């Protein structure tokens, strides 16, 4: 069953520039990332230009966010560029504000230019020097709403998130850290 699912995901991905990569069937994170890309493409065809035009995309199959006054989120993903996984990305976030609950969501970060990818890999998305991005978040998410997607744009970066489950009410300021580790064959 698992090999059939992986084969179906690979066939579904083959027509898109950033999704033409073949995930390693033995790497659960890559398989989950391929499944996440397939789900996003099926749910929202308006994302096709992002997949087509992007130099790279970071795919986070699952980010878990919890909070009660103070909050924390963490997730692992892969960075796909030039039709291959170039490394693993870990996202960590701290938040403070009016918030209660927990949620899991998936996230895609599209990089329109290769310069933006290099800034991301170096730990700088362009907002603040270093490895921390600061922002605010206002959301109310519940799994029974079907889709709860948000988009954020900053120069050459587009970020999309979609709730997978949970119940979270949040009006908070947050700091997000991304750590990139190059794949062994990409170093």
Q: What pTM does this model have?
A: 0.79
CA distances for 98 relative to 101, 136, 150, 162, 170, angstroms: 11, 12, 19, 21, 6
pLDDT at residue number 185? 77
Confidence (pLDDT) at 172: 84
CA distance 114 to 67: 35
Q: Which helix (H) or strand (E) holds 37?
A: helix 28-43
Quick one: pLDDT at residue 27? 95
Rounded CA gap, 85 and 83, in Å? 7
Show me where the domains of the chain are located.
Answer: 45-186
Q: Which residue, among 34, 20, 172, has the nearest Cα to 82 in the 3D structure?
A: 20
Task: State the Cα angle at 159 between 153 and 162, rounded to 5°.
Answer: 135
Residue 22 burial by Cβ neighbours in a 10 Å radius (0-12, 13-18, 19+): middle
CA gap 37, 29 in Å, rounded: 12
Q: Is the dihedral of CA 176, 127, 124, 180 positive or negative?
A: positive
Mean pLDDT of successive 10-residue stretches along the chain, which has 187 residues: 42 44 92 95 90 94 95 96 93 91 94 91 60 55 49 72 87 87 78
* Core vs surface per residue 143-157: b (16+ CB within 10 A) or e: eeeeebeeeeeeebb
């Amino acid at each position: 069953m698992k090999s059939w699912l992986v084969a179906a995901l690979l066939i579904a991905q083959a027509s898109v520039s950033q999704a033409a990569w073949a995930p390693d069937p033995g790497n659960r994170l890559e398989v989950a990332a391929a499944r996440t890309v397939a789900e996003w493409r099926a749910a929202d065809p308006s994302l096709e230009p992002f997949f087509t035009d992007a130099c790279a995309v970071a795919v986070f199959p699952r980010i878990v966010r919890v909070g009660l006054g103070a909050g924390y989120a963490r997730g692992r993903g892969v960075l796909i560029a030039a039709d291959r996984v170039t490394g693993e990305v870990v996202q960590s976030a701290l938040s403070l504000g009016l918030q209660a609950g927990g949620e899991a969501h998936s996230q895609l970060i599209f990089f329109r230019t290769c310069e933006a990818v290099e800034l991301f890999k170096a730990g700088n998305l362009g907002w603040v020097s270093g490895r921390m991005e600061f922002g605010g978040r206002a959301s109310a998410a519940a799994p029974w709403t079907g889709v709860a997607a948000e988009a954020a744009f900053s120069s050459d970066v587009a970020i999309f998130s979609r709730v997978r489950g949970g119940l979270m009410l949040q009006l908070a300021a947050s700091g997000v850290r991304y750590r990139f580790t190059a794949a062994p064959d990409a170093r």
